[in-house]
Amino acid sequence: MPISHREMLELKRWNTPTLANGWEQITGHTQNHPVFNEEVTSDFMPQMGAMIGRAVTLVIRPSDPAPAKANPNAWSEYRRYIASEPGPKIVVVQDADQPRQRFSFWGEVNANVHRALGCVGTITDGCIRDVDEMTNAGFRALAKRLTVSHGYAVPVSWGEPVEVFGTKVQPGQCIHADKHGFFVIPPEDEDGLLEASRFMDFNECDTLIAAAREASGKSTEQILDDLDEATRRFVRNASQRFGRSGEFGTESGE
């Protein structure tokens, strides 16, 4: 079953690495699988926390005036596409000016317009500007860099597969993103992701984190013994829950 809006609200409470932990358990894949950003993203609104939504896709080429002349109705057609898709939505923008992006599609105006159309944020391998104003609009952004000018920021094509930060995104895919990067959730793995993420978060808190936080006043040897036992419990819990050997554990290295 696809992730529901209610489940998205709960998944938004966790950071993106927590969802990655749950996904590893239900699929057996590691983070080498091509569902995470391959290149570095920059988060210009980390205080806004995580965002989650369905991908709506766009290609721009803001250094080129030709697209605006080729289709005078591009803005209207593009906005109708955005409005027609179910929310919440994340606008995934591929900047075709690679590798020299200088102009921004995003700023105060587009942030407010897209927010009105049910979008919660954007992931773009291009530029953004008006960071404070975008934040005030409640519109989240992961991007390559900041810039000053909008250039010829006209929609070129939309509703098609795109590639940003080395990762391919299909329209309609569910995406979770925060300051760590983004996770494009395979449709076949949406079912059970909430439960798995919830379980792995509890499992960490109940074993290794608890053992580490309760170390005060203990000898070094006792702390090491407690951590070894907590690790075994962590792996055993995950193995019993997901039927795996526990090789996909936590960042502690077990």
Mean of pLDDT over the chain: 91
Radius of gyration of the chain (CA): 21
Return the pLDDT at 253. Answer: 43
Return the pLDDT at 142. Answer: 98
Query: What is the C-alpha to C-alpha distance for residues 121 and 106, in angstroms, rounded to an integer?
Result: 10
> 37-52, pLDDT tens digit by residue?
999 999 999 999 999 9
> 119-134, pLDDT tens digit by residue?
999 999 999 999 999 9
Strand 119-124 to 89-95 pairing:
parallel
pLDDT, average across residues 105-132: 97
12 by Cβ neighbours in 10 Å (0-12 / 13-18 / 19+) ranks as: middle
Each domain of the chain, given as residue ranges in start order, spans 5-185, 193-242
Q: Which CATH architecture has domain 5-185?
A: 3-Layer(bba) Sandwich (3.50)
Q: What is the pTM of this model?
A: 0.89
